[in-house]
Structure 1
Amino acid sequence: MSDQLRPRASLRTAVVWEVLKDALDRQVKATGRDALDVLDTGGGTGNFAVPVARLGHRVTVVDPSPNALFALERRAAEAGVADRVRGVQGDIHGLFEVVERGGYDAVLCHGVLEYVDDPAEGVRNAVEALRPSGALSLLAAGLGGAVLARALAGHFTEARKALSDPAGRWGDGDPMPRRYTAEQLTELVSAADVEVGAVHGVRVFADLVPGALVDTEPGAMEALLKLEAAAAELPAFHSVATQLHVLGTKRA
């Protein structure tokens, strides 16, 4: 079983992975090349990079953590794709100090925009790394999911604080520097000359369901995965998703 389909981890990645696989398949057909050049910014230990490499694509991972890159190297070797995965130390703001502009068929920008000083610049750099008509996969923390989680935990003042805070933070103890609404993310992407193809809500229900129920109830995991997939593209659920995924295409 591949990394992205391991039971508990699959609740966090299954929706994005299925969308990403479809996007890469379309890029293969559009380019006429079986092996694509993929850039994973902030790719860490290779949660997506290694599975993408297993599909036969060449993946460059840019991450500021040397420890994460070391783990990536080991993981790629264990998966038998070390020849298709390259890790380089860097970040989205200094992206072109370590990779070339316009050299990639697809760029993954997952879990990056929450931490950067200038999100607009981060998106622009990700897009500038793409070839014309390349695919952008962007994943970021959703505001609504955090508000709902704080309210359900009884922290009503913190939930209201997150709603009014420009960065979507519920207080000084909040470990997440920034959160987004679907509208904010699509505006950032559109402003970077990308045509938005789809928006998905990720972990709409998974973070709210007791873990014991999922782990012990027969068939609960599979049923929850199907529910997440069914709700992902419905705009009504974007406002309560823990994460938001935007898929777009760079304008030619």
Structure 2
Amino acid sequence: MSDPMRPPVSPHHSHTASLRSDRSGTRASLRTAVVSEVLQDALDRRVKATGRDALDVLDTGGGSGNFAVPLARAGHRVTVVDPSPNALFALERRAAEAGVADRVKGVQGDAHGLFDVVERGGYDAVLCHGVLEYVDDPAEGMRNAVAALRPEGVLSVLAAGLGGAVLARALAGHFTDARQALQDPDGRWGPGDPMPRRFTAEQLTALVEGAGLRVGAVHGVRVFADLVPGVLVDTEPAALDALLRLEAAAAELPAFHSVATQLHVLGETPGATEV
């Protein structure tokens, strides 16, 4: 959002400031800060390349709008596809409260039947966050996400990381679970594991490339955040800010991808502007 005390800025700069302000200064920002930064940079390049202030964004599995509403506040038009009516109701309420109901559209559906509810090739950017873990065929889910893109579009993929789960189970003293997750084809630590599937960075990038995109960037998300006791950051804003900076510094380093709770891959069509 623009600050009335500041001089006017270009629409492009205004969009950047608006989205990034949504992820600063809260514990929840530890889960979204890195992805928000990478995604906004990619959208800024699309804005510049197309000459349009507003892009059409598809958020598959977007739920209650953790990314969709900030993107709409940044001026973009966002369609959210989610199988849960309750999530879509929460999205509608959240968008209304943020004053962006006219730029957010919720549609009930899933990745398998994506084109029963949205247009092929109709979007400048597609978000596929927290989807590939749950679909029957991740490769098909990825292909559908890519097929929704316009030429020179951008795909943002966020999925659960195998290494982070192994590390978390081991640090909690569940050593057998940790070994099971490490050896299981889907990265699950046992029958009680609520996550159907986890990925390594190599598996995720292979899915993106297999769907015809080039990988623009790979980031580890929540490398430290899920391991740091909440008491260390919940009562000390300076500590939270320092942890956010640490997460950002480690995100692009391949050495930390193997222990991240989540992995983020930015895929771009071959003609898109380089990262």
- Alignment TM-score, normalising by the size of structure 1: 0.98
Give per-residue Cα distances to partners, 1:118-161, cap 9 Å, x unaligned: 00000000000000110000000000000000000000010000
Query: Cα distance 1:20–1:218, how it changes in 2: closer, same or farther (>3 A)?
Result: closer
1:185 alignment partner in structure 2: 204
**Mapped pair 1:153 → 2:172:** yes
Amino acid at match of 1:187: A
The unaligned stretches of length 5 or more in structure 2 are 2-20
**Mapped pair 1:13 → 2:32:** yes
Which residue, out of 226, 249, 254, partners 1:230? 249
The unaligned stretches of length 5 or more in structure 1 are none
Q: Secondary structure at the match of 2:110?
A: coil
2:103 alignment partner in structure 1: 84
Give per-residue Cα distances to partners, 1:67-106, cap 9 Å, x unaligned: 1001101100110100000000000110000000000000
Give per-residue Cα distances to partners, 1:160-189, cap 9 Å, x unaligned: 000000000000010000000000000000
Give the whole-Å Cα distance in 1 for the aligned partners of 2:25 and 2:62. Answer: 19
1:60 CA drift (Å): 0.3
- Alignment TM-score, normalising by the size of structure 2: 0.90
1:39 alignment partner in structure 2: 58
**Paired positions, count:** 252
Give the whole-Å Cα distance in 1 for the aligned partners of 2:233 and 2:94. Answer: 28
Moved over 6 A (4+): none
Amino acid at match of 2:219: H
Amino acid at match of 1:232: A
CA contact (8 A) 1:3 1:47 kept: no
Within-5 A mapping of 1:41-80: 41-80=60-99
Give the whole-Å Cα distance in 1 for the aligned partners of 2:235 and 2:62. Answer: 32
1:196 alignment partner in structure 2: 215
Q: Secondary structure at the match of 2:53?
A: coil
Which residue, out of 140, 151, 160, partners 1:121? 140
Which residue, out of 192, 201, 214, partners 2:233? 214
1:3 CA drift (Å): 4.6
Percent of pairs with identical residues: 85
Amino acid at match of 2:131: V
